[in-house]
Structure 1
Amino acid sequence: MAVSPLVSPLPPFLRSTSTTSPENSTCRVPIRRIRASILKKPSTAAHRSSPTATNLPILEVPGNYGLPFFGPVKDRFDYFYFQGNMEFFRSRVEKYGSTVFRVNLPPGPFIAENPNAVVLLDGKSFPVLFDTSKVEKKNLFTGTFMPSTKLTGGHRVLSYLDPSELNHGKLKNLLFFILKSSRDRVIPEFQAVYAELFKKLETELDSTGKAEFVEAGEIAAFNFLSRSLLGANPVHTNLGNEAPKLIGKWVLLNLHPVISLGLPMILEDLLLHNFRLPSSLVKSEYSRLYNFFNESSAKFLDEAEKLGISRDEACHNILFSICFNSFGGFKILFPNVLKHIGEAGEQLHTQLAREIRSAIKSNGGHLTIGALDQMPLTKSVVYESLRFEPPVQSQYGRAKRDLVVESHDAAYRIRSGEMLYGFQPFATRDPRIFDEADKFIADRFVGEKGEKLLKHVVWSNGPETEDPTPENKQCAGKDFVVMAARLFVVELFRRYDSFEVVVKKAAIGSFVTLTALTKASS
């Protein structure tokens, strides 16, 4: 039976002009649902109201920043230690009766000069953060502070550039060139790398009764990224399998002011949230990564020079894009996909295995783009994972002028220069947009009704229904990431009928342990 693809059947970097669309399918399969409440759902559900509505009351943004120094420090301790980020925002929604309010964001003193922000926690107000005619993105990738450029070779890399800056378009076009160049390698390299991963996990499970996914999965993720995007195998270089550990140390130096490692409160706050750790702590680790990318990216560095970018700046940007953006996303997304599917149970496993194997069989026993297009449930599971636990939780923007930002129930005055902050796990679990928003529903995006919801999946710094361009801040590799996650689910259920997991919370993402793998019976 023909099925409907979700949004476009192919990512832009794999799309050809001869692609045709199969007929629609509106089937919906029963799936076990996993509950993890975020916001209380109103007594009556409502669809997202029109962004052009003008009949809402215009209010001042509720909330305040407290006393200088003490207010930001109090909010920081609430965020990291006394409440945690989810309760931090939830409690203030209840306090102010609004999903838009003022608060101080971490880290505050002494790292961030100005921690004040207006928080946007619903799916209607959140998209203003994507509108670069209204908000500026310069130096806001990590929020109210910016890591030292010593961590990126002295360059402000693409993630910190506003689209109005000349180099933004040049660097983003370079990433598009890399993605386009990789299209013939993506599927075969993913299959090769993850065949090795699953073999290793099986061996570990047979030997010890359990298999830790995270470490082995990170090695596989980096190897896949290098082999597919650069055409280089890090195992055959001086880097070996050490890249994930090197990246982890480097990312920690970039993000330590806004994360918690679970250390004793006072020690951790003094160590991570008050002062910047010196970049020299990871100088050798970063040099090893840079040398690998410099040696493996000659074709792309040549292209960069044609675009008017120096080879050194291009290399640091390619490194950041692959190590921080892509690898960092896979590090969170793949364990989350495995967790959600594992917790959903055998009914979903059976449905995915049947869909995946049938599609491959109908395509001559090969995994092709055509076969992937015949797996609507597989794609929906990936989108639901991205909605339920987006790998990038925070988005920032600074108002370019005085604005009025609308939530579902009111409009709020925003002054020019004010920081706007969106915490995505609230916006993408908005009960005014998604039915049963606080549940993981695997088939949520299957069929015509499900496809219409994809404009509210915004993990990529933009709606899933839109494409990244040199003029916007949407992730250049948006479709590449979705495709890789789909391939992960496919390779999993080509091999296994079912599996079981144990999940623990990690500092970033989830720590997933496989406790059972049932090999494919057919």
Structure 2
Amino acid sequence: MAGGDEGSLVPREVPGSYGMPFVSAIRDRLDFYYFQGQDKYFESRVERYGSTVVRINVPPGPFMARDPRVVAVLDAKSFPVLFDVDKVEKKNLFTGTYMPSTSLTGGFRVCSYLDPSEPTHAKVKQLLFSLLASRKDAFIPAFRSHFSSLLATVESQLVLGGKANFNTLNDATSFEFIGDAYFGVLPSASDLGTTGPAKAAKWLIFQLHPLVTLGLPMILEEPLLHTVHLPPILVSGDYKALYKYFNAAATKALDTAEGLGLNRDEACHNLLFATVFNSYGGLKVLLPGILARIAGAGEKFHQKLVAEIRAAVADAGGKVTVEALEKMELTKSAVWEALRLDPPVKFQYGRAKADMNIESHDAVFAVKKGEMLFGYQPCATRDPRVFGPTAREFVGDRFVGEEGRKLLQYVYWSNGRETESPSVDNKQCPGKNLVVLVGRLLVVELFLRYDTFTADVGVDLLGTKVEFTGVTKATSGPDSAV
């Protein structure tokens, strides 16, 4: 895997160039969004400078960014420096070189923007751990109820039109599922009605617009999305409606927050952010990504999943339980493989707390205190020095068995290694285990219901677009194909 004895190497200067002030950053931004795309943008710089640790500009660049200049770590060995909070500071770096207005979060810097050294970080993260623990028995039944209904709708749409857009159905279903699972209160039964997903998506875009493209002509997108911040006042009504739901639905969690020494209002804004941005925003990307990879794996792989899933559920008396899920080694591997290839959050950041050395597979690089470090996760988690010639391919059983499990330390989607656990002292996703659980539940729900399925896969605003084109129901036979 790693090459050479890094301990004997002399630290060298990080290669690369930021180019001309202002002009080069804009040119690089155009490469990133339009001329090359994200993957090619980083891969081309690695090739140009012959190094996986390079100096580059990252979006959004001039006007919006504090400073677009970063040291990028683009391999599996250098990337984990971003997890080490003894070496890097995480204050106000959740979205990187820019930070959305706190007007979008009730005037508070929410947990994602706090460094673990800040006292409020531990209190909010403990609140999130407490919420997840208190609702652990609700997740499986809530998911099965909501996503069983989603798949029933898929079947109806296939009969009527031959296709069913999973993303659209998932947006509505995931929002309901999260409210039900976290708080036991359906958003649709509140004053939000059915408007919750649209309000949430609009609020998300106001924070993420510097890092996305809507597929519009460059001449429109550049000034609209990537040059100045969209005014928070345009989404304030949507945010107030969301806050009203959380303030009413999360009463027990807010009581817990006060017991932890948190201001109730600040706690509610944090719960809203964690639920809508982290959880809901994550499921908007995660579930279509998993579905797309499973669809592309083909019918033979589906048959293996069917056999494993149905046998484990049968052994559990026909119930989907945590114990049954733990027996589904191939199912877990498939979800981890999808997360490896398509991490829901691709960018991670940290600011060097002191002069340090960063090791890649082949060299050691000197970084100065205060420099911004940036990681593009797909480069790290598709590293051929770790995952071999199939690094860019979906290999569903990659993490099966003892040797396969050794590779889990290189799965980084949660802002930490898959083999490590989130705590109040680090920045790893507090819902890490829940995310993997939900991914597995999607696969289980599919293959308890279907022997196989087909889908068209494309590009969506935040990730992957999936349209079902056919399903074969588990009661196999000529009349079961939809």
TM over 0.5: yes
Kindly state the Cα deviation for residue 236 of structure 1 after the two structures are TM-superposed. Answer: 1.2
Question: Offset of 1:53 from its aligned partner?
Answer: 4.0
Does residue 244 (structure 1) correspond to residue 218 (structure 2)? The answer is no
1:172–1:476: 8 Å Cα contact kept in structure 2?
yes
- The yes-or-no answer on 1:342 pairing with 2:295 is yes
Matches of 1:142 and 1:460 in 2, distance apart?
A: 15
User: Is 2:455 the counterpart of 1:501?
Assistant: yes
Aligned equivalent of 1:294 = 247
CA distance in 1, matches of 2:208, 2:61: 14
Q: Is the 8 A contact 2:6 2:363 kept in 1?
A: no
Relative to structure 1, is the Cα distance of residues 253 and 497 closer, same or farther in structure 2, using a 3 angstrom cutoff?
A: same
Structure 2 letter corresponding to 1:447: G
Match of 1:186 in 2: 139
Q: Corresponding residue for 1:453?
A: 407
Unaligned runs of 5+ in 2: 477-482
Residue 65 of structure 1 aligns with which residue?
A: 18
Q: Which residue of 2 aligns with 1:419?
A: 372
Deviation at 1:368, TM superposition (A): 1.0
The match for 1:486 is 440
For residues 22-72 of structure 1, the C-alpha deviation after alignment (integer angstroms, 9 at most, x for no partner) is: xxxxxxxxxxxxxxxxxxxxxxxxx2469x941124210011111111121
- One-letter code of the match for 1:483? L
The AA in structure 2 aligned to 1:116 is: R
1:398 aligns with one of 340, 348, 351: 351
Residues 48 and 229 of structure 1: CA distance in aligned 2, closer, same or farther (over 3 Å): farther
Distance in 2 between residues matched to 1:237 and 1:513, nearest whole Å: 30
Aligned to 2:319, what secondary structure does the other structure show? coil
**How far apart in 2 are the matches of 1:240 and 1:338?**
28
1:359 partnered with 2:312: yes
Counting only pairs closer than 5 Å after superposition, residues 285-324 of structure 1 correspond to structure 2 as 285-324=238-277
Pairing 1:512–2:466 present: yes
Give the letter for the 1:444 counterpart: R
Matches within 5 A, 1:65-464: 65-435=18-388, 436-464=390-418
TM-score (norm 2): 0.97
Aligned to 1:28: none
CA distance in 1, matches of 2:21, 2:189: 54
- Residue aligned with 2:466, SS: strand
**Aligned residues of 2:354 and 2:368 also touching (Cα < 8 A):** yes
User: Does the aligned pair in 2 maintain the 1:106–1:257 contact within 8 Å?
Assistant: yes
How far, CA to CA, are the matches of 2:472 and 2:121 in structure 1? Answer: 48
Letter in 1 for 2:185: A
**What secondary structure does 2:7 align onto?**
coil
Distance 1:96 1:274 in 2: 29
Q: 1:29 corresponds to which residue?
A: none
Deviations 1:390-434 (A, max 9, x none): 111000000000010000000001000000000000000011111
SS at the partner of 1:380? helix
Letter of the 2:250 counterpart = S
CA positional deviation for 1:238? 1.7
Using the TM superposition, name which of 183-192 and 135-144 deviates more: 183-192
Q: Given that residues 498 and 517 in structure 1 are in contact (C-alpha distance below 8 angstroms), is that contact kept between their aligned partners in structure 2? A: yes
Q: Distance in 2 between matches of 1:57 and 1:444?
A: 35
Q: Whole-Å Cα distance in 2 between the matches of residues 153 and 408 of structure 1?
A: 44
One-letter code of the match for 1:472?
N
Report which of the two has the higher share of helix: 2
Partner in structure 2 of residue 11 of structure 1? none
Q: Contact 2:6–2:362 (CA<8 Å) still a contact in 1?
A: no
Question: Is the 8 Å Cα contact of residues 422 and 428 (structure 2) preserved in structure 1?
Answer: yes
Greater Cα shift, 64-73 or 478-487: 64-73
Cα offset, 1:261, TM superposition: 1.0
Counterpart position of 2:426: 472
**SS class of match (2:8):** coil
SS in 2 for 1:511: strand
| 1:192-231 alpha-carbon deviations (Å, 9 max, x no partner) | 1111111111111111111111111111111111111111
How far the C-alpha of 1:161 sits from its partner, in A, is: 0.2
Alignment check: 8 A CA contact 1:393 1:423 kept: yes
**Tell me, which stretches of 5 or more residues in structure 1 are unaligned?**
1-46
Q: Contact conserved, 1:49 with 1:124, CA < 8 A, in 2?
A: no
One-letter amino acid matched to 1:70: V
Which stretch shows the higher mean deviation, 70-79 or 236-245?
236-245
Report SS of the residue matched to 1:147: coil
1:313 Cα deviation after fit: 0.5
Cα distance between partner residues in 2 of 1:308 and 1:163? 17
In 1, distance between residues paired with 2:10 and 2:380? 21
Q: For the Cα contact (< 8 Å) 2:309–2:448, is it kept in 1?
A: yes
Q: Secondary structure at the match of 2:98?
A: coil
CA distance in 1, matches of 2:327, 2:37: 41
State whether residues 360 and 367 of structure 1, in contact with CA within 8 Å, keep that contact through their aligned partners in structure 2: yes
Task: Provide the residue aligned with 1:25 in structure 2.
Answer: none
Where relative contact order (Cα < 8 A, 6+ residues apart) is larger, the structure is: 1
1:467-497: CA deviation from partner (whole Å, max 9, x where unpaired): 0000000000000110011011001100000
User: What is the rounded CA distance, in whole Å, between the counterparts of 1:80 and 1:315 in structure 2?
Assistant: 35
The number of residue pairs the alignment matches comes to 475
Mark the CA change 1:49 to 1:230 in structure 2 (over 3 Å): closer, same or farther. farther
Is the Cα contact below 8 Å between 1:163 and 1:473 reproduced in 2?
A: yes
Alpha-carbon contact 1:157-1:317 (below 8 Å) kept: yes
Please identify, of 64-73 and 423-432, the stretch whose mean Cα deviation from structure 2 is larger: 64-73
- The amino acid that maps onto 2:451 is D
Structure 1 consecutive aligned stretches of length 4 or more whose deviation exceeds 2 Å: none
Report if the CA contact (8 A) 2:122-2:424 is conserved.
yes
Q: Secondary structure at the match of 2:384?
A: coil
1-side partners of 2:36 and 2:6: how far apart? Answer: 35
Q: 2-side partners of 1:369 and 1:194: how far apart?
A: 17
Q: Classify the secondary structure of the residue corresponding to 2:94.
A: coil
Q: Deviation string for 1:230-249 (max 9, x for gaps)?
A: 11111211222322211111
